[in-house]
Structure 1
Amino acid sequence: MVLNTFIDHTLLKANATVDHIKQLCAEAKEHHFYAVCVNSYYVALAESELMKTDIKIAAVVGFPLGATIAKAKVYEAKQCIKDGAHEIDLVLNIGLLKSGYHKIVEEEIKAVKKEIGEHILKVIFENCYLTDEEKRIACQLSLNAGADFIKTSTGFGTGGATPEDIVLMKNEVHGSTIKIKASGGIRDLKTATQYIELGVDRIGTSAGVTIVTSK
């Protein structure tokens, strides 16, 4: 297991500065992380900082609440790809999912995927707000909409990834090609290793340097 290749090195805080984003990118280059994950405004900056590297850029869309109108999410995703993003991490509309408006949620995911084409789409569930049944429904909607990944959390809710949620999500999408990203509260080597052993394909964390330099 090459731990660094699982990590989306992440900085999404509201008070992140230009210098902080540059530092994030420098750390990604130093430690050969798979990707950096940034808010949409900073995609172009990350693209310039990571030029001539193979480090991917993931951009969050509809972040962190998921309550943005669908057209705005589609436009934001389109602009992120134009600015140099390789992957989009989309927060689904949590309130509509909980309201039972499943078709609208699925169509929104599908619209973003259609806009970004072959680029990777990760759908963020924010599991801390969902029942187990709602998590299963979110898995199926993401599958139906053509998403490439399902993701546990934004890191801005009341809770992050849990082993139980990873098991639930894996069981629900078993037999498909969809992958899983664990994020939220993953700050040490032991926790990151646990999730990888459970079968996740990517780790979203702001503690990537700490994780890969731990003994």
Structure 2
Amino acid sequence: MSKVDAATVERIIIEVLRRLEPGNTPIENLSSYIEHTLLRPDTVPEQIDHLCVEAKKHIFYAVCVPPRYVQHAKDHLNGSAVKVVSVVGFPHGAALTSTKRAEAESLVEIGVDEVDMVLPIGALKAGDWRAVAADISAVVGVAHRNDAPQPLVKVILETALLTDREIVAACIIAQDCGADFVKTSTGFNGSGATVDHVVLMRQTIGESMGIKAAGGIRLREHAESLIRAGATRIGTSSGPALLTPN
């Protein structure tokens, strides 16, 4: 990792925390932000079929499914514009870096469109920036091999378990490692996406990366507030419900 060290992280944290202001991003087509998600451990193929039917009906951006169902979703969505997203190191981020690399390689081989990886949360909280960077770089290296732009890589921070300083540090590291997005949450550990955390993430990374807000997003009003705060994607298992006014 070339640019991130403790002094750099601390300096940027101070700058970011001084200038937090909510954004005013206009919202035109909510469905185009939505990654319709089903990552429960008891998911069965028929549920993936239903997820894909809803995604095509509402023209969602993508479905987000467990790795074992990526091919199933791709087959179902063949001929549509809906993308297929899957996960690495999910949901705790505690797998070995070599394991995450292997998971990413399998997903790339299948032809996944985007990869949502969980960073090593414990290493981040311990201040081991190099371990966090090595983990992210391993997955980015697989996804962007030979400078390929796809699949995109999103780094899941699990913001509910982090301090503001740790969120800023994670964003800086993910950006430095060449990730395409930072993502708030898995939806499995603590509370999900909040406006304050999305604002903090956007102020840290500027406009150079996307932000996926995920976890506990069940109402249109919540989704819209997250987009106004700077989110460019919404991960939710309640996609159709978000299209209905509160």
Q: Is TM-score (shorter-chain normalized) higher than 0.5?
A: yes
**2:221 aligned with 1:190, yes or no?**
yes
Structure 2 counterpart of 1:98, which letter? K
Alignment-derived partner of residue 201 in structure 1: 232
Alignment-derived partner of residue 160 in structure 1: 192
Shift of 1:75: 1.0
Matches of residues 59-74 of structure 1 in structure 2 within 5 Å? 59-74=86-101
Shift of 1:212: 1.4
| Structure 2 unpaired stretches of 5+ | 1-27
1:89 partner SS: strand
State the identity as a percent. Answer: 43
Matches of residues 36-55 of structure 1 in structure 2 within 5 Å? 36-55=63-82
Runs of 4+ in structure 1 over 3 Å off: none
Which structure has more relative contact order (CA 8 Å, sep 6+)? It is: 2
Q: Count the aligned residue pairs.
A: 214
Structure 1 counterpart of 2:184, which letter? T
Alignment-derived partner of residue 81 in structure 1: 108
Shift of 1:80: 1.1
**2:142 aligned with 1:115, yes or no?**
yes
TM-score, length basis structure 2: 0.85
2:235 partner SS: strand
Shift of 1:15: 1.0
Structure 1 counterpart of 2:163, which letter? T
**2:137 aligned with 1:105, yes or no?**
no
TM-score, length basis structure 1: 0.97
Q: Distance in 1 between matches of 2:227 and 2:80?
A: 25
Greater radius of gyration (CA): 2
| Structure 1 unpaired stretches of 5+ | none
Q: Distance in 2 between matches of 1:126 and 1:199?
A: 17
1:154 partner SS: coil
Alignment-derived partner of residue 149 in structure 1: 181
RMSD: 1.0
